[in-house]
Structure 1
Amino acid sequence: MTVSAIPSDNGTAMTIKITGRFDFSSHQEFRQIYENASPDIKVYTIDMAEATYLDSSALGMLLLLRDHAGGDNSDIRIKNCNEDVRKILTISNFGQLFRIE
């Protein structure tokens, strides 16, 4: 499992790329990325193109990111989900909380 961050050129957005299994083993790495990010970041994009698995702890991590980013006022996009990951997000009603692209 690898988590990497790619800030935008203007410093107001960040893409967090998930590779492999997104589970509890990546909790600390994922949290450090957004907690150490610039306070100027207004848009977070979670790129799941290379994520192979997502469990309940990953759902919790996404909710913690949402709280950190402003809760109901946050702008978090989850994109490039494979069929299995999208199904988990749909069953969990995450489409109500995040923009799933």
Structure 2
Amino acid sequence: MAIHTSTEDGGKTLVLNVSGYFDFSLHKDFRQAYKGSEGVRRFVVDLRETEYMDSSALGMLLLLREFATDQGGEVVLRNCTREVRKILEIANFQRLFQIEE
């Protein structure tokens, strides 16, 4: 379980790749991954390697959304597995986030 970051669009997009279990144990690392990212307008959370996410992960996504909105940016959820997509839909996150294939 880990979080790896990379940038796209000349640094305007920050990509956070979450692998393994996305739960409370990643809270500090997830927050550190995007804090201090001035100039970023788009935050992409890539969930391709995410096996499972719990309610604390949903809360972390909401905190990221709040952070991005304060900077005039947006959050996109990308490459959700079927299991993760089901969790996001149950929580109605498709109303709050753009979800890409």
TM-score range, shorter chain: over 0.9
State the Cα distance separating 1:9 from its structure 2 match.
4.9
Aligned-pair RMSD on alpha carbons? Answer: 1.2
> Which segments of structure 1 move beyond 3 Å, counting only runs of 4 or more?
none
* Counterpart Cα distance in 2 of 1:80 and 1:9: 19
Structure-2 residue corresponding to 1:43: 42
Structure-1 residue corresponding to 2:76: 77
Could you tell me which runs of 5 or more consecutive residues in structure 2 were left unpaired when the two chains were aligned. none
Structure-2 residue corresponding to 1:7: 7
Structure-2 residue corresponding to 1:24: 24
Aligned AA for 2:15? T
Query: What percent identity do the matched residue pairs reach?
Result: 43
Structure-1 residue corresponding to 2:63: 64
Report the number of matched residues: 99
* Counterpart Cα distance in 1 of 2:31 and 2:76: 17
* Counterpart Cα distance in 2 of 1:9 and 1:45: 12
Contact 2:40/2:73 (<8 A) preserved: no
If the length of structure 2 is used for normalisation, what is the TM-score?
A: 0.93
If the length of structure 1 is used for normalisation, what is the TM-score?
A: 0.93
Structure-2 residue corresponding to 1:94: 93
Aligned AA for 1:62? L
* Counterpart Cα distance in 2 of 1:75 and 1:68: 9
* Counterpart Cα distance in 2 of 1:94 and 1:8: 24
